[in-house]
Amino acid sequence: MASLSLSTASNYRGRLAPSPTGYLHVGHASTFWTAFERARDAGGVLIMRMEDLDPDRSRAEYAEAALEDLRWLGIRWQEGPALTNPDLSNPALGGPYAPYEQSRRHAFYLDAWRKLHSGGFLFPCRCSRKDLEAALNAPHEGAPQSDSESNMEPLDDEPIYPGTCRPDASKIPQPPLSPASEIAEPGSFNWRFRVPDGQVVEFVDLNLGLQRFVAGRDFGDFVVWRRDGVPSYQLACVADDAAMRITEVVRGEDLLKSTARQILLYRALELATPAWFHCRLVTDSQGRRLAKRHDALSLRTLRQRGFIPEQILSGELQVEV
Ligand SMILES: [Zn+2]
């Protein structure tokens, strides 16, 4: 699959997937610029998908700011959320795979959940966050949250699930689970994907080369649906990339492990995988990853201070944080 998008350039479909939980910063600019360049150089289509899944953390003002800041940088896309106030420099978008806001795509995610559920890949988990921490017998790891894409999803870098609610393999109901007339609903449970322990998940990243993870060791049974009715980043991302016919995913290297999880979802859903190009992350002068809390490096602030896009994209920005 990896070479498909390169050899058939006109079929290239890439995406920008900002999460409106804060202002975009220099690191996002770098990754999104790479996505823009690769789509442009391939003569392909770039879509804008707003990853506003989490109603508690997403804000309309950040979504607007993301679109505006990326356009200011010089990034253009061909499909995306329809604008309420289009003008000549800001055409009304939309496209064949609308809607392009995750908050409006619930039906797609529910459909994916049902397929996974009826395929026997999921189990309900009643553990609270406290239960999990107690079971892991360790304080919550201070692992940085993923911040380069849909980021901010607190479960993206979840610790390995201790297996509290995991049924024996033999007890996972096999299809047909229920009469066809009964439509399964997630209800108010967390649902986890049962990973095939010990299975090697390998893929060739177009930027970073061969990547290799072992299910059950590098990551455990991961959440695909939250008890508050919100699908997880992993599920929504796979459902959308497949539905939107994405051929290449460009995102930050902090999501490599998520890619391994997502490959398991692609397999379970019997969907073809896209190619991947993970970008090195931008770090600050102390070598730490940028986060949305680094306000001094937000595109908003830098614009206000008179920086121009070329400086921001040069990779040599000297800013004290
Ligand atoms: Zn559990």
Number of domains in the chain: 2
pLDDT given at position 3: 47
State the distance from the centre of ligand 1 to the C-alpha of 191, rounded, in angstroms. Answer: 9
Q: Which pLDDT tens digits describe the chain residue by residue (321 residues)?
A: 444 444 445 799 999 999 999 999 999 999 999 999 999 999 999 999 999 999 999 999 999 999 999 999 999 999 999 876 666 555 678 999 999 999 999 999 999 999 999 999 999 999 988 888 887 765 444 443 443 343 333 345 678 999 999 998 666 555 445 555 567 899 999 999 999 999 999 999 999 999 999 999 999 999 999 999 999 999 999 999 999 999 999 999 999 999 999 999 999 999 999 999 999 988 777 777 776 666 778 999 999 999 999 999 987 776 655
State the distance from the centre of ligand 1 to the C-alpha of 126, rounded, in angstroms. Answer: 5
CA-nearest of 296, 256, 258, 260 to 278 is: 256
Residue at token pair 């109901």:
173
pLDDT given at position 85: 66
Q: Are residues 140 and 229 in the same domain?
A: yes
Q: Are residues 254 and 265 in the same domain?
A: yes
pLDDT given at position 142: 42
pLDDT given at position 118: 95
Q: Are residues 117 and 216 in the same domain?
A: yes
State the distance from the centre of ligand 1 to the C-alpha of 163, rounded, in angstroms. Answer: 7
Buried b (16+ CB within 10 A) or exposed e, 57-90: bbeeebbebbbebbeebebebebbbeeeeeeeee
Report yes or no on 111 lying in a domain. Answer: yes
Q: Are residues 99 and 112 in the same domain?
A: no
Whichever domain contains 34, its CATH number is 3.40.50.620
Q: Give the bridge partners for 249, in sequence order.
A: 276
Residues 6+ apart with CB under 8 A from 289: 27, 144, 147, 254, 281, 282, 283
Which residues have a beta carbon within 5 Å of ligand 1, which is an ion? 125, 127, 164-165
State the distance from the centre of ligand 1 to the C-alpha of 137, rounded, in angstroms. Answer: 15
The CA-based angle 317-318-320, given to 5 degrees, is 130
Q: Are residues 75 and 168 in the same domain?
A: no
Give yes or no for a contact between 275 and 44, defined as CB atoms under 8 angstroms apart.
Answer: no
State the distance from the centre of ligand 1 to the C-alpha of 61, rounded, in angstroms. Answer: 35
Q: Are residues 209 and 140 in the same domain?
A: yes
State the distance from the centre of ligand 1 to the C-alpha of 125, rounded, in angstroms. Answer: 4
State the distance from the centre of ligand 1 to the C-alpha of 19, rounded, in angstroms. Answer: 27
Given 210, 233, 256, the domain boundary residue is 233
pLDDT given at position 23: 94
Report yes or no on 259 lying in a domain. Answer: yes
Q: Are residues 16 and 113 in the same domain?
A: no
Q: What is the full DSSP assignment across 181-205?
A: TSPP--TTSEEEE---TT-EEEEEE
State the distance from the centre of ligand 1 to the C-alpha of 192, rounded, in angstroms. Answer: 8
State the distance from the centre of ligand 1 to the C-alpha of 279, rounded, in angstroms. Answer: 34
Report yes or no on 29 lying in a domain. Answer: yes
pLDDT given at position 153: 37
Given 211, 233, 255, the domain boundary residue is 233
State the distance from the centre of ligand 1 to the C-alpha of 33, rounded, in angstroms. Answer: 40
Report yes or no on 68 lying in a domain. Answer: yes
State the distance from the centre of ligand 1 to the C-alpha of 270, rounded, in angstroms. Answer: 26
Report yes or no on 321 lying in a domain. Answer: no
Given 233, 259, 284, the domain boundary residue is 233
Report yes or no on 180 lying in a domain. Answer: yes
Which helix (H) or strand (E) segment is 64 a member of? helix 60-73
State the distance from the centre of ligand 1 to the C-alpha of 164, rounded, in angstroms. Answer: 5
Whichever domain contains 212, its CATH number is 3.90.800.10
pLDDT given at position 73: 96
Segments forming the whole domain that contains residue 148: 107-233
